[in-house]
Structure 1
Amino acid sequence: MRGIGRLLALAAVLVLVVGLGMVLSSTQEGPVSPPVPAGSTAASAPVRSTAASAPAVDGSGLEAVPASSLPPEARETLALIARGGPYPYSRDGAVFSNFERLLPRKPSGYYKEFTVRTPGESDRGARRIVVGESGDKYYTPDHYDSFFHILEGK
């Protein structure tokens, strides 16, 4: 019986050490790639320049990336937005409600979302560009789990 108690105590300590290690490793900052959804390619995320933590110009705190570093399909969507369409998906231009609260808080209806085609997907896929009324633009490669602030003309 005494051996079982020691074994349980050892197991509890091991669980605590592993848990603490996981917490500490998830809080350390460093070069981190955004999550890539299953079935997609790494090309979904923008290619980062050497200034990987460039500040966002809109005060969002999101990483800012040049439009030129986005996947080609995202650049095509930006061009469609600049032309005012026509858009290939009926949901393009629909209100994005920012339920995730990852973008700056704005009044309802401020943001609109547009699909970024994902090669190999039979539906809309996970990639979107979200545009604010003031022209601020954001790219999400993972269906609103993360965003990048788009710097146009870069």
Structure 2
Amino acid sequence: MSWTLGRFLRGFAIALLWLALGTGAWARGPLPGTVDARDLPPEARQVLAQIRQGGPFRHARDGVTFYNRERLLPVQARGYYTEYTVPTPGARNRGARRIVAGKGDTGNPATSGEYWYTADHYASFRRIQE
């Protein structure tokens, strides 16, 4: 096998791996990492429980549409995601922490099992694993 062909095949194999993982140039954005629900801050675990129960929520903005403008979550139709405030101890405002819920196969954030956590106001996300 020639040096050029070997180099091509190596590059092709890497490109296929990236495509299979959904993180290559063909993906619309990076896929979020994960976090175990037990490893979330206690305030986030409480908000997650409230989402699953359908409320009540502390902030008037909880449950509003999250537009995914950063495109860090999988691209979905407008209205698919909703956001919820995770209280930050000592903060005088809503703080930077949120849980974003998708509608999933059920069409309902309370039962979808599709949740992401951000501690930096949408700069990064980790998918919550239960």
TM-score by structure 2 length? 0.70
- Indicate if the aligned counterparts of 2:31 and 2:72 stay in contact, CA closer than 8 A: no
- The answer for the alignment partner of 2:91 in structure 1 is 121
Counterpart mapping for 1:72-87 below 5 A: 72-87=42-57
Identity of aligned residues (%): 53
SS at match of 2:82: strand
Aligned-pair CA distance for 1:62: 1.7
- Indicate if the aligned counterparts of 2:61 and 2:84 stay in contact, CA closer than 8 A: yes
Aligned-pair CA distance for 1:63: 1.1
Are 1:148 and 2:126 matched, yes or no? yes
Are 1:131 and 2:101 matched, yes or no? yes
- One-letter amino acid matched to 1:150: I
Provide the C-alpha distance between the structure 2 equivalents of 1:123 and 1:65, rounded to a whole number of angstroms. 25
TM-score by structure 1 length? 0.59
How many residue pairs were aligned?
A: 94
- One-letter amino acid matched to 1:142: D
Off by >4 Å, runs of 4+ in structure 1: none
Over aligned residue pairs, what C-alpha RMSD do you find?
A: 1.3
- One-letter amino acid matched to 1:118: T
Tell which structure's C-alpha radius of gyration is larger: 1
Provide the C-alpha distance between the structure 2 equivalents of 1:111 and 1:69, rounded to a whole number of angstroms. 23
